[in-house]
Structure 1
Amino acid sequence: MNKPSKAAGSGELERRLGLSDAVVIGLGSMIGAGIFGALAPAARAAGSGLLISLALAAVVAFCNAISSARLAALYPASGGTYVYGRERLGEFWGYLAGWGFVVGKTASCAAMALTVGSYVWPGQAHAVAVAAVVALTAVNYAGVQKSALLTRVIVAVVLAVLAAVAVASLTSSAASAGRLDVRDDATFGGVLQAAGLLFFAFAGYARVATLGEEVRDPRRTIPRGVAIALGIALVVYAVVAVSVLGVLGPQGLASAAAPLSDAARAAGAEWLAPAVRVGAAVAALGSLLALILGVSRTTLAMARDRHLPHGLAAVHPRFKVPHRAELAVGAVVAVVAATADVRAAIGFSSFGVLAYYAIANASAWTLTPEEGRPARAVPALGLVGCLVLAFALPLSSALCGAAVLAVGAAAYAVRRAVAARHP
């Protein structure tokens, strides 16, 4: 199939990102607020089966990552699965992937901004959230290299905090007391639901794929960057989960309001609690930065094809970024963060991301060996895994996600009908 073309006059982005940038952007997207907040609800669902849920989420994420990386190498353009679905499955499926990503991740942006506010200044969470959105939008506006540099700092801080919590927990007397017990409290449905919730913590491994137009040597850089970032994140998550379970136990983790802070206190490292608080805020900033990057690039791609206002397809002549798309995304996120508490939208975000990657896996299935198709089992397992985890989420999240996708599909149908009447 033909490579995607850019709309005339929309401008081109500049290839400035290397392998280390790709790895850091992937880590910045994954090693974020998810690991600070997803463990407790996942433990409530899975009980002592938490580590099994983590493994299931990792397997699905791995399949998605391989499929996305092979597609990104073939179609190194901004937009990610929006482009892959359009080119491999047809315009509608690409549009649906883009719609789910933009709407779901816009809600996630606001949720991450509010997370920053709740840690930095709980009494003024909305004001801090808006300030964070404005500041990070300005960073993104100044160029993707500036974003990659800030992401390096954020990743370093968060990894240091997670490492300190893990070491304190693993070496404490609470851990040696054997609190990582295995009880018969895990159910199959609970393990699946927890895997769906933990998938949110992995989401972002292929963020660099949405920046494909800004990556040097994308055929080599993107697959390697995605694989390395996912591998590092999996090791970090596994170590953190084992260490926290070791000091809190499944029941203690399930009831924890701030799992990593509680684990530090239980391990006798009270001094770590403020550092964890700072780490959570910094992690949320890193997630927000990467989310704004990804959403703006998908917005750019959809605007080029006029699924969104075509003016959003403009590329800044100096900074080589989709500046109008970034400003539009930043404005919408700031308004939502200022007026509503959207943390409940995380469930929908997980549903939207799983639907997005289901389309990516279906797209990868159509690749030929000459185009770099992965083993057939990879996209097949990824597709089935995404659908199973999406509908294993809490019913309200699944229904809300399905409704939003249906609204997007209806909007597409109306647009096509109008275009047919007025060619």
Structure 2
Amino acid sequence: MKTFNYKCKVPKFKYYFRHPVEQILFFDIETTGLSPKASSLYMIGVMFYNKEDNNWHLIQFFADNYKSEADMINSFLDILENYNYLYHFNGKTFDIPYILNKCDKHGISPSEHSDKILNDKNGIYSIDILAYIRPVKKMLNLSKANQTALERWLGIVRDDKFDGGKLIPIYTEYMQEKILAPSKAEDLEKILLLHNYEDIENMLNVASIMSYNDISALSPISDDETIFNEYSKQFYISDITIDEDGMLNILCTVDELIFPKKVDINIPFPKSSSKVYQETDNLQLTFENNTVLLKVPILSGILYNYIKNYKDYYYFSDKDIALHKSVAAYMNKSHRKKATAATCYTKKQGYFIPSLHPIKNNKSDTDNCFIKYKLALRDKISFYQIETIPDLETANDNNSFWKNYVCMQLTNL
């Protein structure tokens, strides 16, 4: 087994990791096939952050003979002992199962610490970068989500020109030329090392794409209270205006997220079944640097808040109003009917903005300060009334409507 050590280049794109960088280990493996029972492991690369020199460092364990598998795995496990989080690209599907299979073959028992990480199925200690990028693949208009395609999307140009599959015959040739043509074998070795090196080093750049997923981790309001997670504490509304097209513009700044590329997307709101007003303009989002701009259409008109427990209400057709039975008992009975789901509502005239958040039945409609309005009973699209454009201090109150509204849109991308 050969060991190679490097100091990595500063990543082109910054990413705020969810975990302390000094507790993170990146890794990637190279093999002669997909099946661990019918192929060999010929390289393990790891990358870690050194606080002493503030740089990422990379180590490669390379099999220069066919007896190095166990040595490489043990070396990898020794390093893993010092880290709490293992980052990888599609490692949950391939790299980790492959390593565990080889551990069984060689009678290697990972420590309790390493086993907890390698057998983590919930993404707590074992972080698959691909799993965080896949949910935003469509939003970012990515045709593929393999690492090479993501690097191209970021504008990264590799020195390595091979994919993993094409390196298998190169490794075979390397093993043949080690004795017959040492200088040629050295050139082949450089090709093999370069591919693994760039795979791992570029994970730092590819990880930045997770920022588009991280923004969707903001917690919306629940039925009973406002709930925020770690990300929502790091964003604030920096501007609210109405543009010349009559769209409400909400500019949000997220201090601990940086988007690697400016991305503009349009998300259609669900259509309404109302004959008066069937569809609205799209929600327009722009991700740029550490900001998200939401452009939201404004609707003017009369909307309805449908009351869940309609059996406790009467509907008065002459006034187009639903009243609770305790109040309706004192009203003229000539226009009184038992309310139905479609006639049990309160009306509100004014200005409204639509929401992507799915309609949920509140436990108490009247107690919910974020009342949802609809154009028609069966609509999936809901609206919220806006009376004034708030000042920024009001908008940034964690318990205010505005921060919650932003969260609700970004959690449904």
The two structures have a TM-score, normalised by structure 2, of 0.24
Larger strand fraction of residues: 2
Larger helix fraction of residues: 1
The two structures have a TM-score, normalised by structure 1, of 0.24
